[in-house]
Amino acid sequence: MVNRMQFYIDGAWVDPAVKKSTAVVNPATEEAMYEVALGSKADVDKAVAAAKRAFATFSQTSREERVALLTKVIEIYKGRLKEIGAAVSDEMGAPLPMAEKLQAGAGLGHLMTTLDVLKNYHFEEPVGTAMVLREPIGVVGMITPWNWPLNQIACKVAPALAAGCTMILKPSEFTPTSALIFAEILHEAGVPKGVFNLVNGLGPEVGAAMSEHPDIDMISFTGSTRAGIDVAKRAAPTVKRVSQELGGKSPNVILEGADLTKAVTGGVMHMFNNSGQSCNAPSRMIVPLSKMKEVAAIAKAVADKTKAGDPRGEGTTIGPVVNRGQWDKIQALIKKGIDEGATLVAGGPGLPEGVNKGFYVRPTIFADVTPEMTIAREEIFGPVLTILGAKNEADAVQIANDTPYGLAGYVSGATVEDAKRVGRQIRAGNVNLQGVPNDRTAPFGGYKQSGNGREWGKYGLEDFLEVKAVAGFNAA
Convert the pLDDT of each residue in 293-333 to its tens digit.
999 999 999 999 999 999 999 999 999 999 999 999 999 99
Q: Which of 229-238, 262-271, 436-445, 467-476 has the lowest mean pLDDT?
A: 467-476
Contact status, residue 380 vs residue 220, Cβ threshold 8 Å: no
Contact status, residue 371 vs residue 402, Cβ threshold 8 Å: yes
Q: What is the pLDDT at residue 474?
A: 85
Quickly state the pLDDT bin for 354 (edges 50, 70, 90). confident
Per the prediction, the chain carries an average pLDDT of 97
Q: Which of 91, 173, 212, 245 is catalytic?
A: 245
Residue percentage of the chain with pLDDT more than 70: 100
Q: What is the mean pLDDT of residues 409-414?
A: 98
Q: What is the pLDDT at residue 475?
A: 77
Q: What is the pLDDT at residue 138?
A: 98
Convert the pLDDT of each residue in 74-122 to its tens digit.
999 999 999 999 999 999 999 999 999 999 999 999 999 999 999 999 9
Q: Reply yes or no on whether 378 is catalytic.
A: no
Convert the pLDDT of each residue in 36-81 to its tens digit.
999 999 999 999 999 999 999 999 999 999 999 999 999 999 999 9
Query: pTM for the full model?
Result: 0.97
Q: What is the pLDDT at residue 476?
A: 65
Q: Which of 165, 279, 379, 455 is catalytic?
A: 279
Convert the pLDDT of each residue in 359-384 to its tens digit.
999 999 999 999 999 999 999 999 99
Q: Reply yes or no on whether 279 is catalytic.
A: yes
